[in-house]
């Protein structure tokens, strides 16, 4: 295999999955036996024999690449490390627990090419997670993400995604944002599709998901919403909220002033006067924050020579003779 030019890069973050490494390598090799590929296994600071198993697999197969992180950074960071290492034209992300079937990869890749998509997200239509700590929180999180990101997929958290390499390498993920990959990719102009995939019960190891992780995902949703809608125009958010605060406060103080002038009302002991003044000051501060962030956005694009858009392709007609 020419390692510099694989067709497919399969990226798998692993944390305490020593029992799943060998079967994972076997199943991926069987699923992609007719395709040039590389399997990138990222050990996210495991304290068991996970990386030792990865080293064994890499010694036995030229398709396997192992990466060991210095400590446990989290699934999103491990995924990003794998994406950076990937050399293929297409990048597959999947979990190392083998609940998703590597045999689905060719079908998702075929869908991506057939419909000229940039990312195909798996859909665990028949989930095999029987615990309320996983299935119910996942459904709630998916509903919220669909509502707020306006990218309508059934299963954002499905650990099976196939994407073009340029999409994978342009993702900038932090915290628990791997769940928002379809929304972030769609914001960058990627065409998104969805395909049903097989979901299997976990056979080896223990799940690392639970209620606490769902809470962290919901917190990251707020950050992702800001980036998706206002990262290039923060003044539209802070300016709008600031204007509402300012004019509400101005209206309150104007009404109190008329009450004083026309009817001689006593204002010194009325909390409403202080509230109106606070609203005015808060509105001015929010407007100032929006202006500062707008200037920072402009400085960022000019200093990095980064464009606030992405070009899919350029076509030119032949010059006339």
What's residue 160's pLDDT? 94
pLDDT single digits (tens) 27-76:
999 999 989 999 999 999 898 999 999 999 999 999 999 999 988 888 88
pTM: 0.72
pLDDT single digits (tens) 180-224:
899 889 888 899 999 999 988 877 766 655 555 666 666 666 666
Residues 6+ positions from 41 with CB-CB distance below 8 Å: 12, 14, 21, 24, 25, 54, 57, 58, 64, 65, 66, 67, 96
The answer, yes or no, to whether residue 303 has pLDDT greater than 70, is yes
Burial of residue 279 (number of CB atoms within 10 Å: 0-12, 13-18, 19+): buried
The answer, yes or no, to whether residue 234 has pLDDT greater than 80, is no
More confident residue, 288 or 147: 288
Summarize the confidence of residues 104-114 as an average pLDDT.
Answer: 95
Whether the Cβ atoms of residue 123 and residue 154 lie closer than 8 Å to each other: yes
Summarize the confidence of residues 71-84 as an average pLDDT.
Answer: 89
What's residue 188's pLDDT? 83
The answer, yes or no, to whether residue 117 has pLDDT greater than 70, is yes
The answer, yes or no, to whether residue 21 has pLDDT greater than 50, is yes
Cα separation, 88 vs 111, in Å, equals 18
């Amino acid at each position: 295999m020419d390692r510099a030019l694989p067709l497919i890069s399969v990226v798998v973050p692993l944390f305490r999955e020593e029992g799943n490494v060998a079967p994972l390598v076997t199943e991926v090799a069987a699923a992609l036996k007719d395709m040039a590929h590389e399997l990138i296994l990222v050990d996210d600071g495991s304290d068991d024999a996970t990386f030792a198993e990865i080293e064994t697999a890499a010694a036995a197969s030229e398709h396997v690449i192992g990466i060991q992180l210095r400590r446990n950074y989290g699934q999103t960071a491990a995924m990003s490390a794998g994406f950076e290492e990937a050399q293929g034209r297409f990048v597959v992300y999947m979990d190392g627990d083998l609940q998703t079937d590597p045999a689905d990869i060719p079908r998702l890749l075929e869908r991506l090419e057939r419909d000229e998509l940039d990312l195909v997200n798996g859909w665990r239509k028949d989930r095999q997670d029987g615990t309320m700590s996983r299935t119910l929180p996942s459904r709630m999180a998916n509903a919220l993400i669909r509502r707020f990101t306006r990218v309508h997929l059934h299963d954002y958290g499905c650990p099976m995604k196939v994407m073009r390499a340029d999409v994978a390498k342009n993702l900038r993920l932090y915290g628990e944002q791997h769940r928002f990959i379809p929304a972030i990719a769609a914001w960058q102009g990627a065409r998104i599709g969805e395909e049903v995939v097989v979901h299997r019960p976990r056979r080896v190891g223990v799940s690392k998901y639970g209620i606490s992780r769902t809470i962290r995902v919901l917190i990251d949703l707020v950050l992702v919403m800001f980036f998706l809608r206002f990262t290039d125009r923060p003044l539209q958010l802070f300016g709008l909220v600031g204007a509402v605060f300012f004019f509400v406060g101005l209206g309150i103080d104007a009404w109190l002033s008329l009450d004083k002038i026309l009817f001689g009302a006593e204002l010194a002991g009325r909390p409403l006067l202080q509230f109106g003044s606070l609203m005015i000051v808060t509105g001015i501060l929010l407007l100032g924050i929006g202006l500062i962030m707008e200037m920072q956005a402009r400085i960022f694009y000019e200093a990095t020579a980064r464009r606030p858009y992405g070009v899919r392709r350029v076509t030119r007609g032949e010059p006339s003779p």
